[in-house]
Structure 1
């Protein structure tokens, strides 16, 4: 992987997009990056001027990888885009592949100031960074993606995209899924026995073994909320937070308590406002804590989707 300075290190400027005619290049239904006439992966999208902003905003849930390519000018860039699309299915939503044909959507290439293709740009929380600028093999790409996602998981980024299209059910496959996954049995048993530390340890083992396991990451996040709030007096915590509105430790503790009490929106809003008011390392800590609470609730929960939108507004 080649890491080079990217000309737009901040949030993507979308002001020049969305003005193209729906019948022009890049309109919905434009050819995808995959095989001609073939269906996209459930975790890939053909990026157009019309859906570019929505695609970037999807990075508030989990990473979006934008593959810029030109079939006519750089066949190797088109192959890389095809490989990224194929691998998006293997990773089952850990990232969304955005396929950007720079010939069909020149406005996007201009807005992103794309120097050349092939180029894969990672977007997380609306912020782009160059990820890959070489035409590597599919196996090399798979290895690189695994390493990047492991690093993100270690930083608390455990979100997962929902499928963009229905996935066909295999012949003979039962529609009903097992009620209990045995991988999580030990952690769940620990929670049932009020052994929060044991549950944290068990979920941590699962995450260490498979950083892409979103279920284990969510379980770990919730177990850590239980661990942080164990023995805490709610009234005292609220009084401390009221007395120090910009104290990250005080505010995150009350957010944890609100979450456990079922006041999910209150927990999210408290930390969104804290992100809005703070800066530097304090802002980063508040944001990371909020992302952890998102993971504990579940990324497909509508309250999380709303919370991510509010966080994006607070950040940008």
Structure 2
């Protein structure tokens, strides 16, 4: 596990995009099942998907980091508090972070990392001193601050984090039920039954991790051959095909060609692929919408289809996709 992009203006982490979509669906299923079980027997259990306030502050370790932080960050910003028992400043900061997290009412989760027990995580994040505070949003790591900061400054930082999560990733947090029973606190860890295509999907992920983009593409296509509506396979295929297209590109040459030929669909599509991989989502969408505007017939259709593929990579619920769909409709009709 490597820390993701360390910048508020960072790039799209394509591996995280795929993991985030899968994690969000599984987490929703898990919490709904836990809520259903809590409500059995005529009780007034929590609403489906809701968690008790105590579930907003968790302890995490290296073994559970992928599940408890990276996957959870697909639906709520996760604040990481690196601390140790011997650290006096940590004893001032941690309770403040816990209080502000609970007050955020589901728009944040606080994950506490004991550095003495998790030296590898400390090294991977490049931490030189504690307390150190990071955030993870949609699989991307954002550095927040180090040391003890004034409460007002921390409040403003967390408010900015929530705003970034909502505006750039469409992540609005999780529902909190103050009356939820403690059984719901472990909902994110509930077992989800294996699906019929889990083995093929896992093979695709392994191929992606190994750099075998052709193998990943084929694995996703195998799933879609049996289940054309499988959302995870559609997302994975769009991602793998995008990575395959840009793998051997010369970025300087591609961008020069796009600048010299603003009406050339192939040149604009190639540049848009680079934009998307580089995290410039709005630029990629805007470039192709503009190209649709100045092309006709088969050329226009090729650009439109590539834009729709890009929507698959980012996700239909992303506000940038919604805006781009509206812009596309305006130039088409």
Q: Please indicate, yes or no, whether the TM-score normalized by the shorter chain is above 0.5.
A: no
TM-score of the superposition, structure 1-length normalised?
Answer: 0.44
Greater share of helix residues, 1 or 2? Answer: 2
The structure showing larger relative contact order (alpha-carbon pairs under 8 Å, at least 6 residues apart) is 2
